[in-house]
């Protein structure tokens, strides 16, 4: 299986060279491989009118910051922790942000996956299909399909990757929060009659993490930009309510961790507060890490604001729930 070539130019158009999974025989420290969610053409795939592009947005210290647009074939980049004992690892499917039209693959994806690996948790970064202006290509139903497939795929190969199928969670940053919260509130148990063994698996996450997430699609809180990307022009009220995650929380929603800054101007903290209140009403355990300052889009990088301590709080939350290992 081949990994992706390193990107050296600031903007580089590429065809993905990703092998079709599937055997993986060793577990090294933070193994990284990228695989397609579907071996052939994904269901609902559009004619590839755009070509996938990677934009190098600059370096922050030694860290890269790439943005990917024009995604037509969704993938998972798999980071596996070092195998230190007989116990299988928990896993986290990570949904990066990027305003839905792009995927911020490093600071809200691979960086977080590497952090998780240091605590014995596998990080699997989802590169989902990117909606285009006016919903010309992909929308909310496609994103829901991608995140559900990612969880099913992970569960189907849990034994092969030394993962615990009962400890598979999902984490959403920014616009990726709508994918994570949707699958946490609109999951299914799989189709046992499917000829595709992956589709037979449950897509219910066992735990949920959210950072400055897009949650509600209602007009009074969500920008027109997001609604147009997800539904096109003039979506029905029923469709908007169907995918406003705070309205779909139930007692079966998995335990949740949410971080958000009060001064976030991109996605209001009200999105998180609505979800927290819905969890409270449903009796779902929900831990918050809200701070007065921090803005938006910080990922796991330290910008010197109060919100940047959230990764430590999240690690502690995982340890208390038996998700991660204390390796430090």
What does the pLDDT look like over 61-89, one tens digit per residue?
557 899 999 999 999 999 999 887 768 99
Residue 45 has pLDDT above 90, yes or no: no
pLDDT digits 0-9 by tens, 262-283:
999 999 999 999 999 999 999 9
Asked if residue 9 belongs to a domain, the reply is: no
**Rounded to whole angstroms, how far apart are CA atoms 19 and 224?**
38
Kindly state the DSSP code that residue 292 receives in the 8-state scheme. S
DSSP, res 106 = I
pLDDT value at residue 327:
57
pLDDT-derived band at 50, boundaries 50, 70, 90? confident
| 221 CB burial (10 A radius; 0-12, 13-18, 19+) | middle
Nearest partner of 152 among 93, 215, 77, judged by Cα: 93
Mean pLDDT of 115-126: 96
- Specify the pLDDT at position 133: 58
Q: Do the Cβ atoms of 210 and 232 come closer than 8 Å?
A: no
Domain tally, the chain: 1
CATH code for the domain of 293: 3.40.50.1820
Position 107 in a domain: yes
In a domain, 1, yes or no: no
Q: Please indicate whether residue 247 or residue 14 has the higher confidence score (pLDDT).
A: 247
In a domain, 75, yes or no: yes
In a domain, 17, yes or no: no
Taking the model in full, what pTM does it have?
Answer: 0.89
Residue 26 vs residue 243, higher pLDDT: 243
173 domain residue, yes or no: yes
Average pLDDT, the chain: 87
Give the CA angle between residues 88, 110, 257 to the nearest 5°: 70
Domain containing 226: what range?
A: 24-41+49-320
Within-domain flag for 328: no
* Domain assignment of residue 263, yes or no: yes
188: CB partners within 8 A, 6+ apart: 148, 202, 203, 204
Token pair listed for 78: 């798999």
């Amino acid at each position: 299986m081949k990994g992706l070539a390193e990107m050296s130019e600031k903007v580089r158009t590429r065809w993905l060279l990703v092998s079709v999974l599937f055997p993986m025989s060793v577990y090294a420290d933070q193994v990284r491989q990228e695989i397609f969610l579907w071996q052939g053409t994904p269901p609902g795939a559009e004619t590839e009118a755009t070509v996938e592009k990677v934009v190098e947005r600059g370096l922050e210290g030694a860290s890269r910051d790439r943005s990917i647009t024009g995604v037509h074939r969704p993938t998972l980049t798999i980071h596996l922790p070092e195998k230190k004992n007989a116990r299988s690892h928990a896993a986290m499917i990570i949904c990066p942000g990027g305003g839905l039209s792009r995927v911020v693959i490093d600071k809200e994806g691979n960086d977080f996956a590497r952090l998780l690996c240091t605590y014995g948790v596998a990080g699997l970064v989802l590169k989902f299909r990117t909606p285009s202006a006016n919903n010309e290509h992909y929308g909310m139903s496609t994103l829901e399909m991608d995140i559900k497939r990612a969880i099913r795929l992970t569960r189907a190969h849990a034994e092969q990757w030394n993962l615990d199928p009962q400890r598979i969670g999902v984490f959403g940053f920014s616009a990726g929060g709508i994918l994570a919260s949707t699958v946490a509130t609109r999951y299914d148990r799989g189709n046992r009659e499917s000829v595709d063994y992956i589709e037979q698996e449950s897509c219910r996450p066992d735990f949920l993490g959210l950072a400055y997430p897009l949650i509600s699609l209602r007009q009074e809180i969500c920008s027109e930009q997001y609604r147009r990307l997800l539904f096109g022009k003039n979506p029905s009220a029923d469709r908007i309510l169907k995918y406003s995650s705070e309205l779909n929380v139930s007692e079966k929603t998995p335990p949740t961790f949410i971080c958000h800054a009060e001064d976030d101007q991109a996605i209001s903290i009200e999105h998180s507060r609505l979800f927290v209140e819905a969890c409270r009403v449903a009796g779902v355990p929900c831990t918050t890490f809200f701070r007065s300052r921090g803005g938006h889009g910080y990922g796991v990088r330290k910008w010197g604001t109060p919100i940047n301590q959230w990764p430590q709080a999240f690690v502690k939350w995982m340890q208390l729930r038996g998700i991660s290992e204390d390796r430090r």
